């Protein structure tokens, strides 16, 4: 017997039929002798519909009320799913975030989990019940409903899995797992059977949308094995774990995956996957006086505007070494704020020109084996050069190299690099089944 936490996103419970399919899977897992905790998102478009109604009332909704409003979506889906599981003869009960003991701070809309007290959930599964928990929500010390922000249901699931010492946290979505690149861009992308938490973090942080960064961070911190898979098929998905899987899971996990998982501890893959990101813009501050402290001041001003900068390059023209150009990338939604703040400080900063370019793309190559293999960047730049693609900014971590290209070159860049590193599978593996949840 294993304790399994299953998380189903909005697309997995988009309508009554999908809900029944999920219930059947939950019942099947339970009937195989496992303890099951289910975390569920709001059905399909529920959240967007609620946001839309609110926007007809006000453009300035109090955060507290918005959180109570949005939390209704998961309460609806959790109670319907519980009914559907009971209908199959498997005892189940639904629990709100508060009832599941998910304690958060009071930052409405992006609350952080500060404590997990899942007493009722522990009791329910001990009593042989399936516990169905509303994702995305918690309760503050003032007893107000909070929501966890983007990726909140993934985070709920991983946090519950950690608190309950679950053997695995299964993240159900509308694709078969993590792929070596986005299958919509690289049809020959292959499904990853296993990947380390660090690599997943890098992929998630640099544009891969399959799992939310916060949930992966949580999984790493508390060492929760994740299994990302599709709710629309029975296929094995991708295991994200730094430790051997529980042998009790043998019935659930094909032996090959377990073997591969063990193996991974011995030899790390050179390259796991390629993430891409279209959501960043680029700002260049040209002709900044080349004096100590000027660059720091620019980033201070941008930070005070609440903008997170990603990549940075400083470049001093050979022709005039008294002036520098500073280029950085940032989330597209923050660009106007950053531009306004810089323009307002033009007198102080004494720069000559602000340039703004929204048409950039970022490609990130991620692999734990990079640590010990110095040839990776040469191979990357070679492949891009051969494809006639110019590189703009570059940044690296121990297990990642990211480059910025023109937006129109991004897809081609991903394809070229995928092929160059021998990641193409012999056949098209990827199927995308539906929309995408939260």
What is residue 407's DSSP assignment? G
Among 31, 33, 53, 115, binds a second copy (CB under 8 A): 53
CA atoms within 13 A on the CB side of 228: 26
Distances (CA, A) of 360 to 334, 351, 370, 410: 15, 23, 25, 8
Which range, of 25-33, 74-82, 319-327, 380-388, touches a second copy by CB under 8 A?
74-82
| Distance separating alpha carbons of residues 201 and 196, to the nearest angstrom | 9
Contacts of 258 (CB under 8 A, 6+ apart): 244, 245, 247, 249, 250
Give least dist CB 236 to a second copy, A. 29
Site for a second copy in 200-229 (CB under 8 A): none
| Distance separating alpha carbons of residues 172 and 433, to the nearest angstrom | 12
Output 68 or 391, the one with its CB closest to a second copy.
68
Per CB under 8 A, does 408 bind a second copy? no
Give least dist CB 84 to a second copy, A. 5
Give least dist CB 75 to a second copy, A. 5
Among 12, 71, 241, 272, binds a second copy (CB under 8 A): 71
Helices marked H in 32-176? 46-57, 63-87, 119-126, 152-163
Nearest to 395 by CA among 303, 291, 282, 297: 282
Per CB under 8 A, does 41 bind a second copy? no
Output 110 or 286, the one with its CB closest to a second copy.
110
Which tokens belong to 256? 């090959």
Per CB under 8 A, does 24 bind a second copy? no
Which tokens belong to 416? 């070229």
Per CB under 8 A, does 286 bind a second copy? no
Question: Under rule CB under 8 A, how many of the chain's residues touch a second copy?
Answer: 38
| Distance separating alpha carbons of residues 218 and 203, to the nearest angstrom | 15
Among 13, 19, 124, 311, binds a second copy (CB under 8 A): 19
Site for a second copy in 131-170 (CB under 8 A): 143-145
| Distance separating alpha carbons of residues 224 and 246, to the nearest angstrom | 11
Full DSSP string of 339-373: HHHHHHTHHHH--SEEEEE--EEEEEEE-GGGGG-
Among 18, 78, 178, 383, binds a second copy (CB under 8 A): 78
For residues 101 to 120, the per-residue mask of contacts with a second copy, x marking binding by CB under 8 A and - elsewhere, is -------------------x
Per CB under 8 A, does 398 bind a second copy? no
Output 69 or 394, the one with its CB closest to a second copy.
69
Nearest to 223 by CA among 150, 270, 163, 264: 163
Give least dist CB 70 to a second copy, A. 9
Give least dist CB 326 to a second copy, A. 41
Name the helix (H) or strand (E) containing 427.
none
Strand partners for 38: 6, 132
Give least dist CB 46 to a second copy, A. 10
Nearest to 178 by CA among 212, 150, 148, 135: 212
Among 24, 72, 305, 394, binds a second copy (CB under 8 A): 72
Q: Could you identify the residue written with the tokens 């063990």?
A: 262
For residues 415 to 434, the per-residue mask of contacts with a second copy, x marking binding by CB under 8 A and - elsewhere, is --------------------
Per CB under 8 A, does 316 bind a second copy? no
Binding site for a second copy (CB under 8 A): 16, 19-20, 50, 53-54, 56-58, 60-62, 64-66, 68-69, 71-72, 75-76, 78-80, 82-84, 86-87, 93-94, 96, 98-99, 120, 143-145
């Amino acid at each position: 017997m294993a304790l399994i936490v299953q998380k189903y996103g909005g697309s997995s419970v988009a309508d009554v039929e999908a809900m029944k399919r999920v219930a059947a899977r939950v019942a099947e897992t339970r009937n195989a002798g496992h303890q099951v905790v289910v975390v569920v998102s709001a059905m399909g478009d529920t959240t967007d519909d609620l946001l839309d109604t609110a926007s007809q009332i006000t453009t300035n909704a109090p955060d507290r009320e918005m959180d109570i409003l949005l939390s209704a979506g998961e309460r609806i889906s959790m109670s319907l799913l519980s009914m559907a599981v009971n209908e199959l003869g498997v005892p189940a009960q639904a629990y709100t975030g508060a009832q599941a003991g998910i304690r958060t701070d009071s930052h409405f809309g992006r609350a952080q989990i500060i404590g997990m007290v899942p007493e009722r959930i522990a009791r329910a599964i001990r009593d042989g019940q399936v516990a169905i928990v509303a994702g995305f929500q918690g309760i503050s010390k003032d007893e107000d409903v909070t929501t966890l922000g983007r990726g909140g249901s993934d985070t709920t699931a991983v946090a519950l899995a950690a608190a309950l010492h679950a053997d695995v946290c299964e993240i159900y979505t509308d694709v078969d797992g993590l792929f070596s690149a986005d299958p919509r861009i690289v049809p020959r992308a292959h499904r990853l059977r296993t990947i380390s938490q660090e690599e997943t973090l890098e992929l998630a942080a640099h544009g891969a949308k399959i799992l939310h960064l916060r949930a992966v961070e949580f999984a790493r911190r508390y060492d929760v094995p994740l299994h990302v898979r599709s709710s629309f098929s029975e296929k094995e998905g991708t295991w994200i774990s730094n430790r051997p899987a529980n042998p009790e899971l043998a019935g659930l996990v094909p032996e090959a995956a377990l073997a591969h998982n063990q193996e991974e501890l011995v030899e790390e893959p050179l390259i796991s996957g390629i993430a891409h990101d279209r959501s960043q813009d680029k700002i260049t501050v040209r002709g900044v006086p080349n004096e100590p402290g000027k660059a720091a001041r620019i980033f201070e001003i941008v930070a005070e505007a609440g903008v997170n900068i990603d990549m940075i390059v400083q470049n001093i023209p050979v022709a005039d070494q008294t002036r520098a150009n500073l280029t950085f990338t940032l989330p597209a939604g923050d660009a106007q704020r950053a531009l306004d703040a810089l323009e307002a400080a033009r007198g102080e900063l004494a720069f000559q020109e602000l340039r703004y370019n929204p048409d950039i793309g970022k490609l990130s190559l991620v692999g734990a084996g990079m640590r010990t293999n110095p040839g990776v960047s040469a191979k990357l730049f070679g492949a891009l050069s051969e494809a006639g693609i110019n590189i703009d900014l570059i940044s690296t971590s121990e297990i990642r190299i990211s480059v910025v290209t023109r937006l129109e070159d991004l897809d081609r860049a991903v394809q070229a690099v995928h092929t160059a590193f021998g990641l193409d599978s012999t056949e098209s593996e990827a199927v995308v089944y539906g929309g995408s949840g939260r």
